[in-house]
Every structure is written in C-alpha cells, then in structure tokens.
C-alpha cells in the first residue's frame, strides 16, 4: 500500500508541484492550504508523513506542529522553511520536527529526506509493537488489543500497562512503577498505583479465562499469566 503524505503549504503553486512530484514517486497525497485545514486533515485521516510549511494563515506552522505532537509523538514531520527563519527552524526541531528543508529547495533533496524519515519511522513502528500472550500494544498507534478486542485506555493507563509489558514476568516495586510512570518528582498519594492497577484489570482481564496483571502483596506488580480456569 502506498505511503500517504499530507502537504500543508499555503502557496498553491508550491503545493501543486509537491503533489505532482510525490504522486510521480508513488506516494498518495493530501493538500491543505491553511494551518486549520491541515489540522483537520491530520485528525480525520491516517498519514505516514507531514510536509509542514511554517508561514501559514490562520494557525502558524509551529502551533500546528505543537498540536500534532500533543496527540501523535511518532508521525514524521518535515518543515518547509524560508532562509531567514533560523529561530523557527530551531523551535520546530525542539517541538519534535524530524527534519527541515529551506526554500527554495531541490526536489531531489526533499525526496531523499522524506525517504530517510519514512525508513526511520517504519523501523520505529516495528520496534514499538509489544506482545504478551493475547495482549498486544502498539506504542506508535497507541492501539491496545486482547484477543483482537480493542481496549480503550487513558494516557496514564497506557503508560502503566506499557511499563508492565516491557518488563514481563518481573516483579516491579511500587517505587519503580511510580518513578517510571508518574516521575521522580511525584509527591502525591502512592496508593494511586493500586487505583490504576484496578482500572487496568477491569479493562484487560475482566471476562477472560486468564488474568495478566498481578499484585504481589507487599512487593509490587507483575505482568504474569494466571489461569482462572485451573482454580475451578
């Protein structure tokens, strides 16, 4: 299946050239001419890479990038910048852009940068897939499934389950879980872990023949299969 690239560029002549060149290279494309339109297309469709101009009407490119990164930390974003936008280039990279090209650019250079970003992204996608028996987590798409059943998790629940699935069969102490998921500077109630463990059990284990999320009393937590049927 062809990889899909969203072009967010207000200069229609440049957007058209990019669209034609990318289609000639075998990519599927979408085009948006404002920051607001770019965000709408980003949210409503699946893309493999975004070409993002910085000087956009309605919403500046850096604000578009910030909103993209707030919901998707993985999708490659290549900035299209002017020569005198050094501060914006730096800000864009700090906000999570993968690369940039300066206008006017050679199309061959842009295509090479796109290919490099897509190769890296595809490698990251493959390494971001985690499995434990029937449980599957995709770190890139944030999909969680058990036996093909899609499980909806909050960001904190996702982070907690991800930490468990990256360390299967290992008993993780309260301190380890708290530091990894809530951070070293967390000073709230440590019982919060027990609360979220219950949330995860309800969503992941309820109704299944075996449970995965176990509490080791007085020690911590472990992702380990426990056969409920064997106890009957």
| CA triple 180-181-182, angle to 5 deg | 105
pLDDT of residue 2: 79
Q: Are strands 49-53 and 4-8 parallel, antiparallel or unpaired?
A: parallel
Domains 4-127 and 129-231 share a fold: no
The pLDDT tens digits of the residues spanning 65-113 come to 998 887 777 789 999 988 777 787 888 888 888 898 988 889 999 999 9
pLDDT range class, residue 168, cuts 50, 70, 90 = very high
pLDDT value for 127: 60
Q: Which pLDDT value is given to residue 128?
A: 72
Does the pLDDT at position 231 exceed 60? Answer: no
Could you please report the per-residue DSSP string of the chain?
---EEEEE-S-HHHHHHHHHHHHHTT-EEEEESSHHHHHHHHHHS--SEEEEESS-SSS-HHHHHHHHHHH-SSS-EEEEE-TT-HHHHHHHHHTT--EEEESS--HHHHHHHHHHHHHHHHHHHHHTEEEETTEEEETTT--EEETTEE----HHHHHHHHHHHHSTT--EEHHHHIIIII-TT--S-TTHHHHHHHHHHHHHTTTSSEEEEEEETTTEEEEEEEESGGG-
Report percent pLDDT > 90 for the chain. Answer: 54
Q: Where are the domains of the chain?
A: 4-127, 129-231
pLDDT value, residue 185? 66
Burial 112-146 (b: 16+ CB within 10 A, else e): ebbeebbeebeeeeeeeebebebbbbebbebebeb
pLDDT of 173 reads 92
Model confidence band, residue 126 (pLDDT cutoffs 50, 70, 90): low
From the number of C-beta atoms within 10 Å of its C-beta (0-12, 13-18, 19+), residue 217 rates as: exposed
Domain 4-127 matching CATH 3.40.50.2300: the answer reads yes
d(CA 74, CA 54): 19
More confident residue, 227 or 200: 200
**What's the pLDDT at 215?**
93
The tens digit of pLDDT for each residue in 11-34 reads 999 999 999 999 999 999 999 999
What local confidence, expressed as pLDDT, does residue 230 receive? 54
Q: Give percent above pLDDT 70 in the chain.
A: 92
Question: What is the architecture, at CATH level 2, of domain 129-231?
Answer: Orthogonal Bundle (1.10)
- As a whole number of angstroms, the distance between CA 158 and CA 160 comes to 5
pLDDT over threshold 90, residue 140: no
Residue 146 confidence (pLDDT): 93
**Is the pTM for the entire model greater than 0.85?**
no
């Amino acid at each position: 299946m062809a990889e899909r690239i969203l072009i967010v560029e207000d200069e229609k002549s440049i957007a058209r050239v990019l669209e034609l060149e990318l289609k000639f290279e075998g990519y599927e494309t979408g085009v948006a001419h404002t920051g607001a339109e770019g965000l709408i297309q980003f949210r409503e469709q699946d893309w493999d890479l975004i070409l993002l101009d910085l000087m956009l009407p309605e919403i500046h490119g850096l604000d578009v990038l910030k909103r993209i990164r707030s919901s998707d930390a993985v999708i490659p974003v290549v900035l299209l910048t002017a020569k005198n936008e050094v501060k914006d280039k730096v800000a864009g990279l700090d906000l999570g852009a993968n690369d940039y090209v300066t206008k006017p650019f050679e199309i061959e250079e842009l295509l090479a940068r796109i290919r490099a970003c897509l190769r890296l992204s595809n490698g990251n996608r493959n390494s971001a897939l985690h499995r434990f028996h029937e449980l599957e987590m995709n770190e890139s798409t944030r999909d969680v499934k058990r036996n093909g059943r899609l499980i909806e998790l909050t960001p904190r629940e996702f982070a907690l389950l991800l930490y468990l699935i990256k360390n299967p069969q290992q008993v993780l102490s309260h301190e380890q879980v708290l530091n990894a998921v809530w951070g070293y500077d967390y000073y709230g109630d440590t019982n919060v872990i027990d609360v979220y463990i219950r949330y995860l059990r309800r969503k992941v284990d309820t109704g299944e023949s075996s449970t995965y999320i176990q509490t080791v009393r007085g020690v911590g937590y472990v992702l380990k299969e426990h056969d409920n049927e064997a106890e009957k």
